[in-house]
Amino acid sequence: MKTRKTITIVAYISAIIVASLWYGQNHGLLPEASSEEAVLYDALFNALLTIAFGLFLLVESILIYSMIVFRKREGDETDGPAIHDNFLLETIWTAIPAVTVMWIGIYSFDVYSAMRGNPTLEILADNNGAPIVNLAMAEARADEIPGQGEPVTAPSIASNQNQQNQLVAQVGDPPRPDEVAIDVTAMQFAWIFTYPGDVITAELHVPTGREVHLNMTASDVIHAFWVPEIRLKQDVIPGSTTNLLFRPNKVGEYTIVCAELCGAYHGGMKAQMIVQTEEDYNAWLIEQQEMAANSNPVIANRPNRESDSSYLQAHATDIAQRIGFDRPMLDQMQMTAHHHHD
C-alpha cells in the first residue's frame, strides 16, 4: 500500500513537471522575438511561467483533492484527527520556495544586466567601449532644450556627430564600429527620428546585426518607447535624455507605440520600426542624406508671439513632406496644441 502511494505521488509530480515544461515552451503568449535582448527576455519569461504553471497545477490539484476526499460526510459530527508538526514536510515547503525565489532573483538580475539595465556593471565590464561615451553624451545633452523663441532647424536637432566626436576624444576610446546612434524626439502625438547627416524621418530604420543606440527625449510630456517584438520599453522624459540599446536580428516591420498615457490621442501615437539588412539600411541612409543635403528647411520657427497652432499650421506641409507625417496626424497635433494654448 505504501509503495503504491509512493508510486502515485511520484507519477503525479512527474506529470506536473512535464506539463509545466511543455507549457513553458509552448504558451504562445509573446509576439515574435526580433532582437537579441528578446531572446534573453523570453528565456526568463518561459522559466517564470514554467514555475508559475507548475505551482498552479500543484496547489489547485491539492485543493480539489482535499475538497473531495476530506469533505464532511452526511451524519458525521466527529472532529478531524489532531495532526500537527510534520518537520520534514515543513522543511520541504520552506526550503524549496526559498531556493526558488533566490534563483529567480539571481537569474532576473543577470538578464537585466545583460540587457544593459545596469550601466554601472556595464562600464566595469567594458570600460573601453561605447557605454562610457553614451553616458557622457546623455549627461551633455540633458540641457539641450531649444528655447521657445529660437528657430529649430534641421541641423540643430538632426545630428550630434561633432559633439560625439569631441566626447570620444575626451574619453580616449572610440565608439564601437557596429553601433548605430539615433536621436528620438517624442511629442504629442508622434515620434521623430534623427540620423547623422541631417536625416529626419517619422519611421525608425535600423539594420540587423548591429547595436542600435537610441538617445531619447520628449518635447512636452512623459512618453514611453515600446516595441513589443524587441521586449524593451523606456520612458521618454522632457528635459532629460534616456537611452535604449538593442540589437535587432530579424528583418521586418514592427509597430512602435507609446506605453505612457500622454493625452487624448495617446492610442494613436504609433510609428513603424523597419529592420533592414545592412546593405538595404546603408542604401536607404545614403539616399536620405543626399535628399537632406539638397534641402534643409526650418522645421519649426516659433516666435514667442505666435501660438502653437499657428506655427504648426504654417509648417504643416513642409513637415509632412520632410519626415512623412500624414494629414490626420498633423490635424490632431494642431488640435492638441491649440487646446493647450487656450
Which segment, 66-80, 253-267, 294-308, 323-337, is predicted with the most confidence on average? 253-267
Q: Point out the least confidently predicted range of 145-149, 214-218, 265-269.
A: 145-149
CB 146 within 8 A of CB 156: yes
| Residue 45: cis peptide before it, omega within 30 degrees of 0 | no
Report the pLDDT value the prediction gives residue 117, as an integer from 0 to 100: 60
Report the pLDDT value the prediction gives residue 76, as an integer from 0 to 100: 82
Q: Which long-range contacts (CB under 8 A, 24 or more apart) does 283-289 make?
A: 284/205, 285/195, 285/197, 285/199, 285/205, 288/195, 288/197, 288/199, 288/201, 289/195, 289/196, 289/197, 289/198, 289/199
Mean pLDDT of 108-133: 57
Report the pLDDT value the prediction gives residue 274, as an integer from 0 to 100: 96
Q: Point out the least confidently predicted range of 16-25, 125-134, 238-247.
A: 125-134
Q: What is the CA radius of gyration of the chain?
A: 28
Whether pLDDT at 135 is above 50:
no
State the burial class of residue 164 (Cβ atoms within 10 Å of its Cβ: 0-12, 13-18, 19+).
buried
> Alpha helix locations (H) across the chain?
2-26, 36-69, 87-114, 119-125, 130-141, 154-158, 161-171, 278-294, 308-323, 327-341
Report the pLDDT value the prediction gives residue 295, as an integer from 0 to 100: 67
Whether pLDDT at 303 is above 60:
no
Mean pLDDT of the chain: 77
Report the pLDDT value the prediction gives residue 175, as an integer from 0 to 100: 47
Report the pLDDT value the prediction gives residue 318, as an integer from 0 to 100: 54
CA–CA distance from 58 to each of 52, 84, 104 (Å)? 10, 21, 19
User: pTM higher than 0.85 for the full model?
Assistant: no
Per-residue confidence band for 133, with pLDDT thresholds at 50, 70 and 90: very low
Report the pLDDT value the prediction gives residue 89, as an integer from 0 to 100: 87
Cα of first residue to Cα of last residue in the chain, in angstroms, is 82
Distance CA 261, CA 258 (A): 8
For 142-161, write each residue's pLDDT tens digit.
344 344 444 433 333 334 44
In this structure, what C-alpha cell is assigned to residue 72?
464532511
Whether pLDDT at 227 is above 60:
yes
Report the pLDDT value the prediction gives residue 285, as an integer from 0 to 100: 92
SS3 for 202-270, per residue? CCEEEECCCCEEEEEEECCCCEEEEEHHHCEEEEECECCCEEEEECECCCEEEEEEECCCCCCCHHHCE
Per-residue confidence band for 120, with pLDDT thresholds at 50, 70 and 90: very low
Q: Which SS3 state, helix, strand or coil, does residue 71 take? A: coil
Which segment, 77-86, 158-167, 304-313, is predicted with the most confidence on average? 77-86
Within 10 Å of residue 252's Cβ, how many Cβ atoms? Answer: 13
CB 198 within 8 A of CB 292: yes
Per-residue confidence band for 176, with pLDDT thresholds at 50, 70 and 90: low
Report the pLDDT value the prediction gives residue 164, as an integer from 0 to 100: 39
Distance CA 50, CA 226 (A): 26
Report the pLDDT value the prediction gives residue 31, as an integer from 0 to 100: 93
